[in-house]
Structure formats: C-alpha cells, structure tokens
Structure 1
C-alpha cells in the first residue's frame, strides 16, 4: 500500500476515516482520522512504505505503541489502538489540537520564564510516571512535546524508549537527536531516568533562551560538546533569568549522572521553589557541571547489552575534553580559573593509562577477536557469524516482549568488545513474548478493567455496546482466562448506558392517543384519573414535561380527566315554574322551559314534566327541560331557556 495523500477520504483498516494529513517524519506519516466505531477523532500514525518491511523500524514502531499504551497519564499522549493493515503498521492515538514545543519556540522565540517553568513541570510529571513504570523515554526534545490551546503539555513518541537500563546506540549510529543527547548517550553508554532529565535540561534551556546549549556543524561535534564542554548559564543569553533558575538548568545539564537530579520529583521540587521565589536545594546550588565521569563508567566491555554501540566504539573510550574559552567570563574579565585545565589534564592522563592497558593486552601473546552486534539476528545466522569469528556461541532461551521467536535479543559480551580467540559469546534467543492470562473484568467499570488489563501487560481497547449500565464491562475478546502473549490487544465490550428519548406532548389528547404516542417514543404511560371539568378521558397533565429527555423504557405519569362531576337532579314536577327554575339552577343546571295547554285552571304555571327526571344523575352544568302548564287561550306555547 502506498502511504500517501491518496489515503485521504478513505476508510483505513475498516474503521478509521482519514480526514487530512497532520505531518510527516522520517519513519511515519500522521493523519487526522475519525474512528467510525467510537465516533471520536484520533491521530493515526502510519509507518512509511520504505520502512514497512524493515524489522528494526517495525520493532521501534511496535515498541512505541506498547510503551505509550502502558502509560495512562494526563501529560502523556494516549494510545487507543495499534495494528497492521494494508501491508503496513499503524498506531491510533489521542488527537491533540495544538502545536509541538519546537514549533512554538521557532515561531515565538524564548518563552516567558513562568511559562517555561510550567511546561517543564508538566513534562516532569510525565517523566515521573514513566520512570516509575520502568520506562526511560530516551528522546526527550521539543519536537516530542505537544501543547494544546490551554497550555496543557503532552509527551509523545516513545519509539526508542525501553524498560530499564541499556545502551542506547544502534548499528553505526547514535539513536536520538544530537542537540538533546545526554553525555552517556553520546558515548554509547548505559542510560537511566537521569538521561531523560539531562535532555529536559536542554529543552528548558531552549525554552528560556530560544537556543540549545550546544550546536555544531555535525552531530559528532555536538556530541563531543555534550561530553566535555560546560554550557553557558542561560542568564548569559537572557539577563532576566534569575540565578536560582540558572542553577536548576545547570544541574540538569551536569556531565555526570551522579551530579544531576536523581529523580523527576527532585527537579520538580526545585522548579516549584524557583516559581515561588525560594532558594533551590543545597545539592543544586553546589552542582559541578563539568565533572566528567571516570572512563570506566562510559561502557563495560563485559556487561550484557540490548543494543550495542557502533563498531567504531571501544569499551572505556571517552573523547578528550574540549574546554571552550569565555564560557563563564566575558572577554577582558577576571583571570580564568585553573580548574578546567586541571580536569582536562587529569582526563588526558586517565585516557593515556587506559590506552596503555589496551595496547598491552592487544600486543600480548593472546589473540583477541572483536565481538560484532548479534542482537536482532536470527539464531542460526548469529551462531554462524560467531563461529566465523573463531568464537564459540552459547545459546540461552528466554522470553522477550521486543523480539520475535528465534531472534537474538541480548548478548554478552557487548558489541565492540574483544574476546580471546576460542572464547565464548553468549546470545539470548527469544522464545516469543511471555504468556499472560486475560483477567476476568466482567462487571467492572471500564476504568478499573483498563487498569487490570494494563497491569497484566495487555493493551485494552474499548468497544461500546448497547446496555443500560453505562461504563460496565460485559465481555472481553479474548475471554477471561485465555493465555495470550504479553502486549496483546484485548477488546473490551463496555455498555453505552440507557438510550434516551424526547418526551412527546400528549396534554389535550385522549388517553388512547397519548398511550400510542408514548409507546412510539419508547416510553411507558402511567395514567391516573382525576376529577376535572375537562372532557372524560382527556389528558390534562404529564410528567416529565413535553420536550424533556427521558430514559427509554421509563414511565410518563399522566393525569386523565374523569369528566365533569355528576349531581342529582331535583324533582320539580308540581312546582311553579319560578320555583322549579330556582331549584334547578341552584343545583348547577341550566333550565329550558316549554309550555303545554292544560284544561285545569289550577295547573296554569305549574310544571307538568321534566327531562331528565327528578332524582336521576346528570353532569353539573348540563340542561334540564321543564314543561309548564298554560290554561288561558293565547299564543301557542313557547320554549324558554334560563340559567
């Protein structure tokens, strides 16, 4: 598959709708995409064509996803999904609508001091979390720090991060960016969390001054300066930087890891002191920036290593110091101190002694064979190469999260060492990733299930499914109890919560009409009959109110009219017309009067009949008709309505 702009407006891996390109790097392209399953925007990082078949790049890419997926922290970009599709590999991660710290520095120059401190503290929060989980980032630089519109910082790109300590070079080159490398990375030595703190010191220096502490024509020149050149205090480039902040930066940039901050917590505590105007710690105030670690600390020729130094490297080799003039004093200032020259002289003497012993060993009677890099090679190929070098391979099997089955993941001695001819080289061959059991998280909330799976070394992937209990896990794939390779994805079915419906307006409808409308909306009517002057069976009130949202399947209370109340009709036959009207109207009825001729004069003006009959029940306000006798001849009988 051609990873190009032709991806835009396509559906990648059957799930991600590619919207636009966000950027490109040496290893991968990054796109903005819409996750069709979860309805959210993600940044999807897709490995370039030229690297899609390169095992080293695939491994680095896979390691980035694995390392970051295990780190759930507000200052670390979240990994949602990873996989391979269309002949390449991808990572779906949190989309942050912002810019990299490098873009901000290039576009705006040096940051305000308080902003620089705040950004550094947020990066330290991310590093603290990663270090506590055994992960060293190894490539902290402003390009790998994103900042959103609210000033929230997130660290990304764990592509060269590893758990624990190991040497940090790959075949023939140093991994990382020269301007931000720690001295131990520059010499191909072991790294630990203090290496990240050095790189953060470079980032903070650049934030405060707009420049990195060391620059040069080539990466090698820059690396040499990291090893032996003291940095100018940031205040030399920006006078408003307070002395206490100078001390924090310079301690972070100490050449020896032992002189640096020993933890992210320690550095953050000093930055917090600077932010409130307090003095830094005593250890920071007395830091020796230039003190060079002894040559023995540079590399151990017998120590096991995951990734070996370049073939040109020699165990114990440290480049000579280069002490630049005018680092701390302006031209024409006081006499320069003598200590840098003493350090340089001591270093040269140590290097000479080390060189003598190396010469002595190599010129002796023993034949020494160079050890090559076997990590990353198939077992059979590594064994052939070892034998070809007149050495004896010793094979150990072990599980590895980073290397496929049958691939060498460790060696002892490390590459670049020398071993007596006929000596043994031990290679550790991967039997595949260790197996873990999928924990039973059914019934747990998503956040708890996510933590349980992550603690087990698995990668939880949320899948929303219908269900009334929002956030509760219903099942996993693979199921609980199944043994799977560590680092495997586990899809977790999580209930979306009850569906909702808009409550229709049924006031004024008949009960039958209201029931039909509510059922159609997925709601249940709950009628109560009340006395009312409204027509019988008419809905006069409802709860919840029309237009509000209610959970589907919930009840809507209805008040339904019984109709106007029924009252007894007074019997008025035999009463005078006037008395009958008075009695009927007093009972709440309207009266209609009709006349009929009568022969008996005594019945003149007397009610002869009524309808409805007296004593029966009728709706209050309805009409009662009375018929009144009329004796004297005159006009025809008429009808009169009163009330």
Structure 2
C-alpha cells in the first residue's frame, strides 16, 4: 500500500479559503484525470469530495477512498439506499437511483464550486435537507459569491451541476476540454453554453418553508486566499478619499527604495544569480523557485506528446547559467499531447478512410462486420467525427465485409426462366451464356459457382444455357428400295424404324411407300425416321 504524504483538499479550503482561479482549474483538472482513469476501467467512485483528495507539497493531487466505488453498470445493493456524502451527492444518489459516470462529474462540479467560492452550492442543517436541495434547488453561479470568476467558468460549473444526467458532461474528457479552453482564455463549447444557459434561465423552485428546527443560514463571506496557494487574489480597491494621502506616501517610499537600489546597482554592479534546473518540475513549483531567486518567470505553453500537462520540458537560460536578478527565465510548459479533430470517414472506402486518419496523425483499429453496405465501406467510427482527441489516438472503425454468404442452389436442368427467378429471389445477379448442347433449347446445362458453394448476395451466378441441338433436313427416301433408304438415312445421322405394309402390286414390293418425318423436315441428329415398306401379299382367290 502506498503512503501518500500531504493534506486533504478540504483542510486547505477550510484553513486557506478559496483558491486562486488558475489553481482551482488546475486542481479540478487533476481530479478529472483520476476520475477519467477510473471510468475507463469501468469504475464509478460515488464519493468524490475534497476530504478524499490529498495535495502534496508540489501541488500534485491524489484521489483516495474507493471504498464505495462500484462497477459503472452495477446497481446498488439495496434499492433506494443513499451512498455518498450529502454535500457532494448527485441528485440520483440523493433519491437512491442507479448512478453512472455523470454522477462523479456532478461531484467534481461541487468540489470546483467549493474551490472557487469556499462554500458548497447546497447546505442545510440535516442530510435530508441537503439532499432535497440537490434534487430541486438551482445553484447560484460561483461569480455571485466571487465577482472575478469569469462567466465561462460559471457555465462549466453549472453544466456539471445539472439535475438531468443527460444535460451534464458525459465524460471527464469533455469537462476537461472546457477547462483547458477557459485556462487558455477561450470560450466553452457550444454544448456547454446551451446546457448551462438553459439552467440559468429556468425559474427558481418555490422557496422551502422554514421549520422549527431550521435556522436561517448566512452565506460564508469571501476571504482572499493566503500565500499557501502561491499567490494572492487581487485585493479590493479602497475607495475612501482619506486613504489617498497614505497611498501617495507609500508610493514615495517605494519609489525611494527602487531609486536607492538603482544607485547601488550602478555603483557596485548588478548582483548575478545562477539559474537552477526547472525541467521536469510542475509549472507552479518552477514559478516559485524562479521568484525566490529574484528572477521573473516567462511561461510559454506548447503541446508536447511525451510530457504531461503543466510540466516544464525546456528552459532558457540553461541550468547553471548566470544572469542578473530581475532577468526573465523562459519556461516551456507542456499542454499535453497536441489535439486534433477526428475527421468523418463513415461511408468512405477503407483505403480513403485510413488516408484521412493518417493525415490527421491518428491511428486506427479495424473490425470487419457483416453488412448490406458494399464490402470495404466504413459503416461506423468511434470517436465520432468532430470530436477533439489527442494526436495518436486510436480510432475504431467498423468496415463492411459485405452481406452474409448464401448457399447457391442447384438449377442445372431447369429452364433459364425458372433458374433466373429462383436465383434473383435469393439476391443474386444472373448472367446468361448460350452454349451448344443436345439438351432442349433454354435448358440450363451448367452453373458457376456450382451448387453447394456459398456466395454473397449481389454476386453474379453465370448460367450456361443450351441453344438446342443442331438440326438437318431429313432425306426423302420414298420410292426407294428398303436397303437404299436405310443406308441414306443412316449416312445423314438419323435412326431408322421399318414398318411393313401389305401390297398386291408386284412393283411396290420392298419399296418405301412413306416416311415420318417427311423428307425435307428439319430434325436433330439421331432422330428416328419411320419408313413404311411394301410387302407383296397374294390377292385372295375370287
């Protein structure tokens, strides 16, 4: 078990008051980093509060006490039970409903509210009273308690404290992205602007009636933070005229002091100091060390794929160099991995999609799935198009491998019309190829692919169709003798069937009287021609 040295964030807020705005944002982002790690591993903390956040001497935060954390999709052990600390409960926890990762983000919003103002958004004499406020009361914007808080920071807190889970931030990454924008002087996302504005514009709920045991609670007065937070909040300007004289005297004293120092420097030369090594330190700690030497920090923030956010990765002058007091030391501070916008690749071929992702300096993972879409087409992507992600993030793609294969039926021996109708009914395309065959015309004599194999709907089945047997004219063998007729028909490729017919005329004996098919008729080779041959039969006596 790791020993964590430091004080709880709650102790610091109670003893030091509200944090300077830059430090409040930095602390909230560190808490979100821990929450993001837990959520990615399927864990919902359920009890995010400053009591469970330790702060070490270098300003690093550790989120502790996962004692009531549960798997993100699990239900509570007892229906309707309330788990968590009243002042930091999400509305769904307050009414004993199932929780998810947005419940933790609500609690982070409460902690950020307290960091900025020194008080929690909802308080009361009993846990039940506080829980009811989480369910129905609209929180006052933090700027109502501390005027210098920018509007965009108000919007972030109010969206995190939305009663409806669908209106809150849906991930720690999304909330952190808004904090980064405000940290760098930008505006929050349109989604946050819309959600928070809707919360502000809603009419307040009816005021709660005081009971015999409920006493009016006075708001905690704002107190500027002491030096623990590394720098003081701007003090309120005095407006009393009688202080003007005192200010003039103070200005004269300060001016005299600097004039004296300037004279001394010109006489003895400016004192020099040796620059320390600040690379690898957090910005806050490096800033302190530079000021302790009488130097002025100049911070340049740049993305760096290898260095965590807020850490110094380069400095000028280099460590060990000598410089005069009052000189600048430039610190290059990492803003984390460069952010890129995920391009839209749905509907593109996998080749085009991968080219776009590579241009955006993103990685990818492909899963092939059965789909009615054309094979090789991207049908889904995660994260979705337009999302802001770290450079090098893996984009998951689902690529169609075409429809589910279907068994090809046997249509050999069927007519082309019957076979074509059957195959098209299964979703196949049909191609016809006419071939010579002794099978009847339009009979399917072969198919490709063959029956029993599988093919995807939309693929083409080629059918070989008989053009019908070749025909030739049947010779006319009437009036020929039987032997000559047989020889001629067989020589022409036809079969012969002989039928005799009695005749009394001597000249018709052994002569072909008729034939079927008749001479000149077109018939296929091998067709049997029936010839009727006369056979002399004596006439009956008179």
Under TM normalisation by the shorter chain, which class is it?
0.3 to 0.5
Between structure 1 and structure 2, the one with the greater Rg is: 2
TM-score, structure 1 length as denominator? Answer: 0.31
Structure having the higher strand fraction is: 1
TM-score, structure 2 length as denominator? Answer: 0.36
